[in-house]
Amino acid sequence: MKTKVMKFGGSSLSTAQKIKDVASILVKQKGDLNNIVCVVSAMGDTTDELIKLSGEVSKKNNRREMDRLLATGEMISIALLSMAIDDLGCKAISLTGEQAGFKTAGRHGFAKILDVDTTLVEKKLREGYIVIVAGFQGVNAAGDITTLGRGGSDTSAVALAAKLGCDCEVYTDVEGIYSVDPRIHKTAKKLEHLSYLETMEMANLGAKIIDPRAVEIAQKYEVRLYVALNSTKVIGTYIDKENNVEQSIISNLSIQDNILLVDKKLREGETTAELFSKLAGKDINIDVISQKDIGKDRYITFTSLIDEKDLITDISEDFHFKENVSKVSLIGNGMRNQPGVAARVFELLNANGVDFYQVSTSEISISYIVDTINTNKIVKLLVKEFDL
């Protein structure tokens, strides 16, 4: 008997009818002689509503109580989904993160999974239950509920699949993973296969399909992932160790908006290390960095996020900011064996009169910092150039 973990996000569970639809899918899968473990998120906007409510009672950020509060969202989902399956005449049992064996460590709101003790999950599977598990949550050594941070239900699902040694299917409100976000470029191609590394780069570079931590665990334990829409027969995207042999150079184009471009001339005696140590001390998110010496003067340029502007200003007054900046990234395993992608893009942008501020590259990605106003034009040029 084959076991699989299926994960459904909040948008798949936002109404009573949608919960009943997911219940039908699970009962059908179970009928096909599978052992089904289903990991769920909180219904629709529940998490946002709870966060709003907490803001009304307190201006402080009490992370322990916030975790307790937010974890109720998934508890509501597992109870309702189990009832809906039961109503269809199929055995289902709900388990909280704690009952499903998720032991965590680290600070509340960003807990890390230490281990998953799947004894009870496996027992209930043997007894013929569809096991419904609350994602996003676990319990720490003190016996307190912890949450794994936004997107944590993906991580829960993959960790459970890793421990059970099975595949993990992540159902979402898109049909799979595309070469470009279909909301930005309508005729984007759906990708049937991606490697772990490509998916992680995409997730880190702004694609909001699956939590990067989930992909990292999938890679480590070689859990085969499948990302798809829950309500159609359309094939989604498989993510595993190796991409197709006949791979295209670029498999994905991702865009991150709300980038802040920061410039600073170092003061006399000030070192680059000192500057970045100050920024790190404030937990400021720093991305692409470059430095340039002109005569005796050293100029530092880096990107951060618009939200962190105040924090950066707190450090010193002599930063220069440029807003309305975006990061356009090309990602593909094929880049490894096909040098010259950066050069092709430089030529392309230059020939079309589009400027960029900074470039950064990894083994399988290349990112350009550009004015947000130019992103549409750049996307069109790149989609055409690399047949995305």
Binding mask 84-113 for a second copy (x = CB under 8 A): x-xx-----xx-x--x--------------
Torsional class of 203: left (φ above 0), alpha (ψ -120 to 50), beta (otherwise): alpha
The stretch near a second copy (CB under 8 A) out of 14-22, 26-34, 222-230, 328-336 is 14-22
Q: Of the two residues 84 and 369, which places its CB atom closer to a second copy in the complex?
A: 84
Binding mask 142-161 for a second copy (x = CB under 8 A): -x------------------
Q: Of the two residues 101 and 334, which places its CB atom closer to a second copy in the complex?
A: 101
Q: Of the two residues 95 and 218, which places its CB atom closer to a second copy in the complex?
A: 95
Please pick, from the candidates 3, 11, 65, 315, the single residue that binds a second copy as defined by CB under 8 A.
Answer: 65
User: Quick one: DSSP state of residue 232?
Assistant: S
Please pick, from the candidates 79, 286, 342, 348, the single residue that binds a second copy as defined by CB under 8 A.
Answer: 79
Least separation in angstroms between residue 258's CB and a second copy is: 29
CA atoms within 13 A on the CB side of 355: 3
Based on the shown chain and the rule CB under 8 A, indicate whether residue 57 belongs to the binding site for a second copy: yes
Based on the shown chain and the rule CB under 8 A, indicate whether residue 141 belongs to the binding site for a second copy: no
Length of the chain: 388
Based on the shown chain and the rule CB under 8 A, indicate whether residue 51 belongs to the binding site for a second copy: no
Residue 304's nearest CA partner among 288, 283, 281, 280 is 288
Helix axes 16-31 and 63-87, enclosed angle (nearest 10):
60
* Phi, psi for 237 (deg, rounded to 5): -120, 130
DSSP string, 249-301: S--EEEEEEEEEEEEEEPPTT--HHHHHHHHHHTT-----EEEEEETTEEEEE
Please pick, from the candidates 78, 116, 125, 328, the single residue that binds a second copy as defined by CB under 8 A.
Answer: 78
Please pick, from the candidates 11, 14, 24, 75, the single residue that binds a second copy as defined by CB under 8 A.
Answer: 75
β-pair partners for 256: 327
Pair of tokens at residue 149: 């941070």
CA distance 164 to 138: 17
The stretch near a second copy (CB under 8 A) out of 52-60, 103-111, 258-266, 282-290 is 52-60
Q: How many residues bind a second copy (CB under 8 A)?
A: 37
* Phi, psi for 239 (deg, rounded to 5): -125, 120
Please pick, from the candidates 2, 28, 48, 53, the single residue that binds a second copy as defined by CB under 8 A.
Answer: 53
End-to-end CA distance of the chain: 39
Under the rule (CB under 8 A), what is the footprint of a second copy?
A: 16-17, 19-20, 23, 50, 53-54, 56-60, 62, 64-66, 68-69, 71-72, 75-76, 78-84, 86-87, 93-94, 96, 99, 143
